[in-house]
Amino acid sequence: MDANAAPFSRELENASDFAAISSNGLVSICGFGSLLSEKSARSTFPRLLNFRPGVVKNFRRIFAHIAPIFLERGIANVETKEMSSLSVEPCIGESIVVTVFEISLLEVPAFIQREHEFRFLEVAVVNSSEENAIHLCKAVICAKYSDEEYLSIRCQGNKDVFYERYGKHGIQQIWRDDILPCRLYLHHCVLAAKNLGQDAFESFLDHTYLGDRRTRIREYLDAHPGIMKEQPPEHLRDRYGG
């Protein structure tokens, strides 16, 4: 990690690490993109509990990794490089409005496999970005990884695992700074943030960046207003409808 990055409690590498921050057989998960939508969150975690907003300090959202699910669903544009999903990364002075909810520890192995390309970090969730914010819970958030770590740690050096998840789609590098948001996914996330409330909406616009780490999503949408006018295809309307 960057020596100037914001502090966090620790990296969680396996299900037993998740269990160490659990309570009563439950572990808290942060949503910062599609999971800002309770409907989306429940489509992934049907038995989630206590869905609510929160704030994670000293982190920012970043569109900097290729999501193979977008290629599989036919909503990624390889030619324009509009194929990125969201992650977060430590950044002193930033803060993001997130959602937080609990899932059973029994669901953690499936969660780890589903979010295979991410670094899992333990973070503190508070109720606001103010100095006197009240601590809500410790939670797991999906943060930026690196290609080298992903191949050596998550894939355990097995290039066949990498091929099955990425290589068969022609992807040789996951984490990049020259890609752009998948349009339907960005549209969905903006709607989800807006539906969560004004604070979440403003947070998403001003604390979410392209891979260049300079361009905020507010600026990007101002330059590309057509993104918010597009509608998902019928078979994906529920999944990407906000």
Q: Which domain holds residue 186?
A: 10-145+174-224
Phi, psi of 170 (to 5 degrees): 85, 15
| 17-41 as b/e: b if 16+ CB within 10 A | ebeebbeeebbbbbbbbbbbbbebb
Of 120, 123, 122, the C-alpha closest to 112 is 120
User: Domain of 49: which CATH number?
Assistant: 3.10.490.10
154: which 2 tokens? Answer: 């998550």
| Backbone torsions φ then ψ of 127, nearest 5 degrees | -90, -5
Q: Are 99 and 39 in contact (CB under 8 A)?
A: no
Q: Answer whether residue 158 is part of any domain.
A: no
Residue 191 falls within a domain, yes or no? Answer: yes
What confidence tier does 5 reach under pLDDT thresholds 50, 70, 90?
very low
Structural domain count, the chain: 1
Residue 71 predicted with pLDDT over 60: yes
- Report whether pLDDT(43) > 70: yes
Mean pLDDT of the chain, nearest integer: 91
Beta-carbon contacts of 12 under 8 Å, excluding residues fewer than 6 positions away, are: 18, 21, 120, 121, 122, 140
Residue 27 placed within a domain = yes
**What is the pLDDT, as a whole number, of residue 7?**
52
